[in-house]
Amino acid sequence: NFEMKIGSATVAGLCVLAASAFTDAFQPAALVKARASTRSLSIAPLQVATEPEIASHMDSESVVVPVGKFADKPFNKVMAANRSEISVRIMRACTELNMGTVAIYGYEDRYSQHRWGADQSFMLEKEESATPISAYLDIAQIIDIAKKNGAEAIHPGYGFLSENPDFAQACKDSGIEFVGPTVENLNTFSDKTSARAAAIEAGVPVVPGSAGALNSAEEVEAFVEEYGLPVILKAAMGGGGKGMRVIKKKEDIAELFESASSEALSSFGDGSVFVEKFIDRPRHIEVQIIGDGTGNV
C-alpha cells in the first residue's frame, strides 16, 4: 500500500506561481508584459511515499482544542503604520488572531502587496515636492486615518515612526494603543545619544563619542582632533544603516556630515547625528529583551 504526497519543492513552486499571479493582477500591464519573457518556473515532479514514511511524520495522538479555549483577540482592528514586507507580516498575524486590519500607503506604493492584504487601505497625502518616505512620517495624518476608521491599535513595524516618542504619545493622547515600548522608554532609548548616557550611568562600557547631537561639521573636526580617525557619524533618531557615514579622511568631514544629516532627516524626520570612534569589524553580540507590558519580561 502506498499514498501519494506532493513534495515540498512542488508546494514551493505552486506558492511562487500563485504569488506571482496575485502580484501581476495588481501591476500595470506594461510592467507585467516586460517581465513575462524573463520569468521561468520549474516545478518538481510528484513524489511517492510509503505509508510507514508518512506515519513517521505524524503525531500518534490527535489534538483536541475544547470550545472556549482560544485566546480572546487583543483588538478588533489594528493599523500597520508602515509599508512593504513588515506591514504584510503584521496583517498576517492580525488575521490569524481574527483582528481587522488597516493599511496606509504612499502614492508610489499604490501597487504594493501590503495595500491589498489589509481589510482597508488608505493613501497618504503629501506635497508634490516631498519625498515618498515623508508620507509615512506624517503623524497627524496617520492618527487621523486610524481614528476615523476605528483602529484600536497601531503597530509601527520597524524604522519610520517605530522609535518616535512623539508618535507613541500621539497614539496615547488619541486613545489608541501603541504596539511597542512606552513613551518613557522611547524618550530614553529612541535617541541614541540619551541611550549612551543611560548606558554610561549604568556603568556599561561605551566607545568614545559625542555627549549629544552635533550642530556642525566643526564639532566633528574637534572630536577627530581628540580621538583621531576613523570615526563614524550616526543618525541619533534612527537605525538600519540610514544616516551613517564612516569618515577616514579629514577632508571628507564636511561633505559626509551634510550627507548623513540629510539622509537622517529624510528617513526619520530628524536630521540629528552624533559621532563615535569607529571600530572596524567588531564582534557584535545582541540580546533581545521582550516585555508584555504587565510586568513579565
Give pLDDT tens digits for 124-144.
999 988 888 899 999 999 999
- Please report which confidence band the pLDDT of residue 77 belongs to, taking 50, 70 and 90 as the band edges: very high
Give yes or no for a cis peptide into 156 (omega within 30° of 0): no
Neighbours of 150 (CB within 10 A): 12
pLDDT at 52 over 90: no
pLDDT of the residue at 35 = 41
Our measurement of the distance from residue 16's CA atom to the centroid of its chain's CA atoms, rounded to an integer in Å, reads: 24
Strands 100-105 and 47-50: unpaired
Stretch 115-132: mean pLDDT: 92
pLDDT at 46 over 70: no
Query: Which position has the higher pLDDT, 19 or 175?
Result: 175
- Please report which confidence band the pLDDT of residue 159 belongs to, taking 50, 70 and 90 as the band edges: confident
Quick one: cell of 295?
510586568
- Whether the predicted model's global pTM rises above the 0.75 cut: no
Cβ–Cβ < 8 Å for 74, 97: yes
pLDDT at 49 over 60: no
DSSP string spanning 4-27? EE--HHHHHHHHHHHHHHHHHHTS
pLDDT at 38 over 50: no
